[in-house]
Structure 1
Amino acid sequence: MDRVFIEGLKVDAVIGVYDWEREITQPLVFDIEMATDIKPAAASDDLSLTLDYFAISQKVTEFVQQSSYELIETLAEAIAQLIMQDFGVSWLKIKVSKPGAVPNAGNVAVQIERGTL
């Protein structure tokens, strides 16, 4: 199975459990790995036969900007379901990073895998 990657997708979102976090946006960074068969697209040079990473990035960005979750775990799960349902992805791995969330740490993140290869 082939993989399509979207790495370092930055989106500002309302995210967090503390009252002050509910009043601001904070940067999140998404790394998304999706399994697909790229052979048909490669053979025909046809975008409709592969995962359109631009369309997926736009959909994720819009979803995150409109969301208001407390936990990045919940957001990661929601994005996984969105991509799998809307783009027919059977397996994916998503890492959601929240840089600056913990003093003296460069980053905190969760990573999930969903589906089957």
Structure 2
Amino acid sequence: MDYIHLNELEFYGYHGALQEETKLGQRFRVTVSLATDLQDAGSTDDLDKTVNYAEVYNLCRAIVEGEPVKLIETVAENIATDILRTFPEKVLGVRVVLIKPDPPIAGHYASVSVEITRGRFA
């Protein structure tokens, strides 16, 4: 299995369970790993044989910057579902790490995140 990784995409969204989060918004970071077969793309140098990561970026952006939801779990699930739906012949699985660098909780920490894996595994 081969992988395409899009690392630490950063967007501004309005997701969260607290009213301040949906009103003020905050940064979100997304890392996406796509399980795919890159052999044909690598041997032919043909973009049509791979997953266009610019399209994946735009999909992630539309979801994170789009309609607010309460949970980052939902944002991650929506990203995974849309990727699998958009690239049914090319993406066998997807791993999404969604990071909330500045959640409104007291304390010292780098961030909070969720990680999900979804796919069409045999």
TM-score (norm 1): 0.94
The count of residues paired between Structure 1 and Structure 2 equals 117
CA RMSD of aligned residues (A): 1.1
Q: Secondary structure at the match of 1:70?
A: coil
Helix, strand or coil: the match of 2:65?
A: helix
Deviates more, 1:6-15 or 1:57-66: 57-66
Distance 1:83 1:67 in 2: 17
Deviation for aligned residue 1:63: 2.2
Q: Distance in 2 between matches of 1:67 and 1:53?
A: 22
- State how far apart, in whole Å, the 1-side matches of 2:29 and 2:41 are: 28
Displacement over 6 Å in runs of 4+: none
2:25 and 2:96 map into 1 onto residues whose CA distance is: 21
TM-score by length of 2: 0.91
Q: CA deviation at 1:36?
A: 0.6
Equivalent residue for 1:111, pick from 112, 115, 119: 115
Distance 1:3 1:36 in 2: 6
Say whether residues 1:75 and 2:75 are aligned partners. Answer: yes
C-alpha offsets along residues 18-42 of structure 1, whole Å, 9 cap, x if unaligned? Answer: 1111112210000111111101111
- 1:28-107 alignment to 2 at 5 Å? 28-88=28-88, 89-101=91-103, 102=105, 103-107=107-111
